[in-house]
Chain A
Amino acid sequence: MNMFFTFLFSYISILIVYKLILAKEFFTRRDFIYGVFFCAFMALFYYNNFFNSTTEFLSGISIILILIITHREYGLLNASISGFATLFVNLLSNNIIEFSLAIMNVPVQVYTDNSLNYFVVSAIIFSLASIFALITYKIKTYIKKISADLENKNFMYCSAGLFGFIAVSFYYLAYHNRFAFTQNLQLFSIVQLISIVIIFAFLLVMLRDSLMKQKLRAQEKIIKEQSIYIAEIERIQKNLRVFKHDYKNVTLGALKYIDDGDIDNLKCYYQDVILKFENTYEQNDTRLDKLKNFKQKEIQSIIWSKLVQAIGKKINFRLDIERDINYDMLIIDICRIIGIWLDNAIEASSPNDTISLLAYKDNNYNYFVIENNCYGNVDLMGISNFSFSTKGKNRGVGLKNVSEIINDNDNIENHTEIEGNKFRQILVVENRG
């Protein structure tokens, strides 16, 4: 029974750490039910001598604990990764200890059940669990940052599975062969270390592979966009030729009035024909040219791809971009903000609406403005909340991400305004110098 309370204590302490670091809501009844079951099981195992030694036992506990808790909070994938990672690190630390012990020629059976009291057991579990909690959290946020919408899931599944498979097999080998191999412990440890290196190498290869695939996909996308770009340029060229031809005729018409000295008619002709003529040809043909004013090339491509979408939906797109615009923030962040805003703008627009996009700078600031038509009421207070949506379930996630990025950067401010039937997002980015 003693052991049961030790487990309960350690479970609760780990729970506290997890909740403090990661979770939003505090304890629920489910947590406790899980915990009591878990502790009962562990005590049962313990009294039936299910494990060979304390170390094994400790690893078992921490892994199962972490599996349970991460599963509760983050789903199966993260649970398996963190669980296997735990196992792996346990193995590694065991290995290192044994390796150094073997070098120093100390007999292996240093840690027996008697040498650790209950308190130490809980303390070790506690610290292990908190370290892994931190590690998983960090890794998760990092991965989220570098690969916002890239396909990383397969890779994660694979690496989790691999970790698991190799770690389990090692574990099995290490602890069931130990007694036979005591004399060859040095060799054994070296083999283990080499295998771990191999695992890492394999993982690296896989990572490289998946990165290559991503690159390939990105390149394909660029090629596709480029071809649309070229088509657009050809269209403009053609327009220009037609314009040149027509302009000659129009000016010839004016010449006739000038020859006759008929100023009144010339005035009429100018207002009726020439002005109208210019208006017909005044199209947004210069907009492609302006995109290159962004110093961050990634922004060009994201705006370009959205522009193609907008053209497809017959939405007018107006661009004005000053020279040398450079937003002093992570490129991935600015691209996400612009992408999400443009997506929303395109979604809110119906054909023949206009989306205006403006980028300019003064002194120490760079600005980005998007304006689109909006009809009906927009609930500004709900916009940054997760539940926001006039468009269906879970559509508000984009703006939530934008808020997070804005909140994480000191040098950014954001104004969202509605003026008449115009909806406007303004981003102000200060240069950090």
Chain B
Amino acid sequence: MLDIYICDDNPVAINLIKRTIKQEIEKKNIDMQIKLATTDPFALLENIEVNTKPNIYFLDIILNAKINGIELASQIREREPSAYIIFISGDAKQHELIFKYKIQALDYIIKYDLDDLEKRICECIDYVHEELVKSEKPIKNMFTISDKGIKKFVEIDKIILVEIADSHLKKLSLYTKTGRYVFNGSLKETENSLNASDVAEFVYINRSCLLNLAMIKALNNDDKTIILCNDIEVMCSRRYFSAVKKSFTAFKAKQE
């Protein structure tokens, strides 16, 4: 059973949202309930119950209280990092970016357009429902880049390589096909956590670079270079080349 919380300064809007959600839940027989609908953000904060399953929050931005919806949302995030937060507001467009990055809101719905409002609320409910049905996503295959600031998860088998970025040996940069992440960390620990999963295998190609074996397209014996799947050539240290070659052939054999 998933709990839904609503907070809006306008009782009319609360009723509207409640009605829409109830209809949707009954229509599709979804395992959710409206736990609380209030005009007071502090009452909401006091009554949050964090369960094993995430809660869903529908929040307005302007609340006629000491805090606004964004601040309320950040406090909710602090208590329940995995919460689904949806903003319903008159001027959502202005803060779209804040919702997206800071709150990591699921959606932001503009209040005035009534048909659209109902439709979007239903879409959110459906989305959460689907997510939870297919969920139990194996967290083991995700690598957490830095636990400070933004928590960023990257699928391990999408990682191309990890290398030491600076001369002080404090920063690593991790490449995927669609991203480059520079963060504080040690290569040794990263190697341990990467190779702990069984979705990919990483080898050193020189002292400061870890490469995903699955990303190798070909090895060049003559000048000891490695061609990656995105057609980029990287130099391999002479000392490490034979080891890389060995594990690459073993990896290929295992795949076939």
Contact = CB atoms under 8 A, between A and B. Distances in A.
Chain B: interface size category:
35 or more
A84 interface: no
A254 interface: no
B180 A320 contact: no
B34 to A, nearest CB: 27
B150 interface: yes
A271 interface: yes
Given A406-B171, A426-B150, A428-B150, A380 B178 contact: yes
B112 interface: yes
Contacts of B94: 286, 320
B95 interface: yes
A367 B175 contact: no
Contacts of A419: 178
Given A275-B113, A428-B150, A430-B149, A380 B95 contact: no
A407 B169 CA distance: 9
Interface stretch (B9-17, B57-65, B181-189): B181-189
A356 B93 CA distance: 12
Interface in B156-176: 160, 165-168, 170-171, 173, 175
A318 interface: yes
A271 B74 CA distance: 33
A360 interface: yes
Contacts of A322: 98, 102
Contacts of A73: none
B105 to A, nearest CB: 13
A278 B94 CA distance: 13
* Residue from B96, B165, B180, B184 with most neighbouring chain A CB atoms (10 Å): B180
Contacts of A418: 178-179
Contacts of A415: 145, 150, 152, 179-182
A407 B171 contact: yes
Given A275-B113, A356-B97, A416-B181, A407 B166 contact: yes
B23 to A, nearest CB: 20
A316 interface: no
Contacts of A410: 170, 184
A304 B170 CA distance: 34
Contacts of B102: 322, 360, 362, 367
B113 A381 contact: no
B179 A369 contact: no
A371 B101 CA distance: 11
Interface in A280-299: 282, 286
Nearest to B110: A275
Contacts of B239: none
B97 A416 contact: no
B148 interface: yes
A362 B74 contact: yes
A271 B181 contact: no
B180 to A, nearest CB: 4
B204 to A, nearest CB: 18
Interface string A348-363: 0000000010101010
A267 to B, nearest CB: 8
A365 interface: yes
B144 interface: no
B133 interface: no
A406 B182 contact: yes
Nearest to B183: A413
A44 B173 CA distance: 54
Contacts of B168: 407
A369 B97 contact: yes
* Residue from B97, B148, B173 with most neighbouring chain A CB atoms (10 Å): B97
Contacts of B184: 410, 413
A310 B173 CA distance: 31
Interface string B7-34: 0000000000000000000000000000
Nearest to A377: B230
Contact of A381 (B97, B170, B232): B232
6 contacts: A286-B94, A320-B95, A358-B97, A367-B102, A379-B230, A415-B150
Interface of A: 271, 275, 278, 282, 286, 318, 320, 322, 356, 358, 360, 362, 364-365, 367, 369, 371, 379-384, 403, 406-408, 410, 413-419, 426, 428, 430
